[in-house]
Amino acid sequence: MNTLFDLTGKTAVAIGGNSVLGSSIAKGMAAHGAKIAIVGRNLEKADQVVKEIEEAGGTAKAFQADVSIRESLEEAVNLIEEWSGGFDILLNAPGKNSTTPFFELGEDEWDDIMDVNLKGMMISCQIFAKKMIEQERRGSIINISSVSSTTPLSKVFTYSVSKAGVNSMTQYLAREFAPHGIRVNAIIPGFFPAEQNRKILSEERVESIMNHTPMKRFGSPDELQGAAIWLSSEKASSFVTGALIRVDGGFGSMTI
């Protein structure tokens, strides 16, 4: 069983690996033997995640990049390649949100969120998958989606639309990359309180979420590790691609 989920000898690139959810997943991968490249706009936060991974006995390095700018990511991928020799796993965990009501939403704000959540993920898949194919490395791409991608939530219009796009892109790329031995899947997290969503978690909204979540609680970031490690392992999930994996306490199974 340990061998089934062993990531020793693999290098994982965690884009948005300095975020709450991204860092937790990266730490889980590192604990199972993967070498981790933490990529984020805030290098100080990325360095902190690296420090925590190293203190736990893992290997990691921080790289600065803006996921929405192709040149920035291309520069980062070259540095990561120099450091690691290549990579086998790509975790796409960037995220940007807004509570602006629909009729007050401006194009600049729409573009900003889409640039990070959708366009940035497309760019990273292009750049990193191309390198994997050139190196003839079988690999796994894991995109982080959201429960709002399938059941649009109030107060997060643009975020919901962007994450619906992530699901579609995941399944399209699963078909596109399968001949090259690259699997593409998405994790759909439920409600995991973090910096970007605490501002919309009013008492009334929390009550509504709990009423719609059979397990009657929020998720803990480390509860995403199992799904991510499974999807990262070529042995454990070798026939899994194009899947949208829910880790949501049953939120997606509720109707009335």
Confidence (pLDDT) at 206:
87
Tokens at residue 46, please?
């990325």
Give the mean model confidence (pLDDT) for residues 185-207: 81
Lowest mean pLDDT among 22-31, 38-47, 53-62, 202-211: 202-211
Q: How far apart are the C-alpha atoms of 193 and 233, rounded to whole Å?
A: 27
Looking up tokens 């292009």, which residue turns up?
126
Q: How far apart are the C-alpha atoms of 64 and 38, rounded to whole Å?
A: 8
Give the residue with greater pLDDT, 197 vs 28.
28
Whether the per-residue pLDDT at 122 is higher than 80: the answer is: yes
Task: Assess if CATH 3.40.50.2000 describes domain 11-247.
Answer: no
β-partners of residue 89 are: 12, 140
Give the mean model confidence (pLDDT) for residues 183-191: 97
Tokens at residue 102, please?
């629909």
Give the mean model confidence (pLDDT) for residues 122-131: 96
| Of 48, 82, 45, the residue nearest 65 (C-alpha) | 45
Catalytic residue numbers?
159
Confidence (pLDDT) at 224:
98
pLDDT confidence bin for 119, thresholds 50/70/90: very high
Confidence (pLDDT) at 152:
81
pLDDT confidence bin for 1, thresholds 50/70/90: low
When computed from its CA atoms, the radius of gyration of the chain, rounded to whole angstroms, is 17
pLDDT confidence bin for 116, thresholds 50/70/90: very high
Q: How far apart are the C-alpha atoms of 205 and 108, rounded to whole Å?
A: 27
Sign of CA dihedral 230, 249, 118, 61: negative
| Of 201, 174, 186, the residue nearest 247 (C-alpha) | 186
Q: List the domain boundaries for the chain.
A: 11-247
Tokens at residue 177, please?
């990359």
Q: How far apart are the C-alpha atoms of 59 and 57, rounded to whole Å?
A: 7
pLDDT confidence bin for 198, thresholds 50/70/90: low
Confidence (pLDDT) at 103:
93
- State what percent of residues in the chain have pLDDT above 70: 96
- State what percent of residues in the chain have pLDDT above 90: 84
User: Is the pTM value of this prediction over 0.75?
Assistant: yes
Whether the per-residue pLDDT at 2 is higher than 80: the answer is: no
